[in-house]
Amino acid sequence: RPATGLLASLDLLQVSQAGPVLHLRLNRPAKRNAISDTLIQQLHTAFVNLPDDVRVAIVSGEGDHFCAGLDLSELVERDVGEGVLHSRMWHAAFDQVQFGRVPVVAVLHGAVVGGGLELASSTHIRVAEASAYFGLPEGQRGLFVGGGGSARIPRLMGVARMADMMLTGRVYDAQEGLAAGLVQYVVPQGAGFAKAYELAQRIAQNAPLSNYAVTHALPRIADQSQSEGLFTESLMAAVAESTPEAKDRLRAFLEKRAGKVVKS
């Protein structure tokens, strides 16, 4: 069903909800979903104002491409100070995507370039359709990444691969993106949303606090020393297992009312 209230008022995002799954579609196809100031602000607004009953979000793009990155037509007149604030605005929006309340699944097709790849890398699970391709053309435009890409993309594919993409203009196709760690799934053209929805429904069945631990504790532990990381892990584990929901789920398993682990 279409979103209501604030989420329905965002004209560059098409928002709909099915049960616990919120679907946000970048809706600027004539400009290849290039991210203007308005679109980055609308992404921020959407992720700060997720309805309480949402447990997972899916992000996709309308038209032939996921996202052409920064709207280059808005960059021409900006001075240095405005440039810092602009980049920080992107950081704020994508921090809400990565460190918001719920896991986020991206459906990628066509161009996933520049800021489009920065948006994708702030989600938790990336599903690429066969047409998806990944590039970082900032160097060709006289720019540098400014939407968190230098922090997030090397954590997926390593500094060397990202440097190669930026220095040489190398473009990865969907399969290469999978091999390099940019995406977790590749599916046939047109099958991306169905795959993302299937994954979202599985994610929604987990305890919300377990999902929160995955999206908030895991990347932080990865940034900590082993000693600090292990201590953070113990604290997070104790918090998760002390919840009534965890007790109920454990009892259900022991009483043979819960599903077993199955190979899909």
- Interface with ligand 1HE by CB under 6 A: which residues? 31-32, 34, 64-65, 68-73, 87, 90, 111, 113-115, 137-138, 141, 143, 145-147
Q: How far is the CB of 131 from ligand 1HE (least distance, A)?
A: 11
Select which of 62, 82, 118, 241 is catalytic. Answer: 118
Alpha carbon distances (Å) from 38 to 76, 85, 229, 248: 16, 14, 38, 44
Which is nearer to ligand 1HE, 50 or 70 (by Cβ)?
70
Select which of 74, 82, 138, 241 is catalytic. Answer: 138
138 belongs to the catalytic site: yes
Q: How far is the CB of 201 from ligand 1HE (least distance, A)?
A: 31
176 belongs to the catalytic site: no
Which is nearer to ligand 1HE, 7 or 145 (by Cβ)?
145
Q: How far is the CB of 148 from ligand 1HE (least distance, A)?
A: 8
Which is nearer to ligand 1HE, 32 or 55 (by Cβ)?
32
Q: How far is the CB of 32 from ligand 1HE (least distance, A)?
A: 4
Which is nearer to ligand 1HE, 20 or 148 (by Cβ)?
148
Q: How far is the CB of 34 from ligand 1HE (least distance, A)?
A: 4
Using CB atoms within 10 Å of the CB of residue 52, give its burial: 0 to 12 exposed, 13 to 18 middle, 19+ buried: exposed
Q: Among all chains, which residue has been given the structure tokens 């997972």?
A: 56
Which is nearer to ligand 1HE, 63 or 219 (by Cβ)?
63
Q: Give the chain as a DSSP string.
A: -B--HHHHT-TTEEEEEETTEEEEEE--GGGTT-B-HHHHHHHHHHHHT--TT--EEEEEESSS-SB--B-GGGTTT--HHHHHHHHHHHHHHHHHHHTSSS-EEEEE-SEEETHHHHHHHTSSEEEEETT-EEE-THHHHT----SSHHHHHHHHH-HHHHHHHHHH---EEHHHHHHHTS-SEEE-TT-HHHHHHHHHHHHHHS-HHHHHIIIIIHHHHHHS-HHHHHHHHHHHHHHHHTSHHHHHHHHHHHTT-SPPP---
Please list the active-site residues: 118, 138
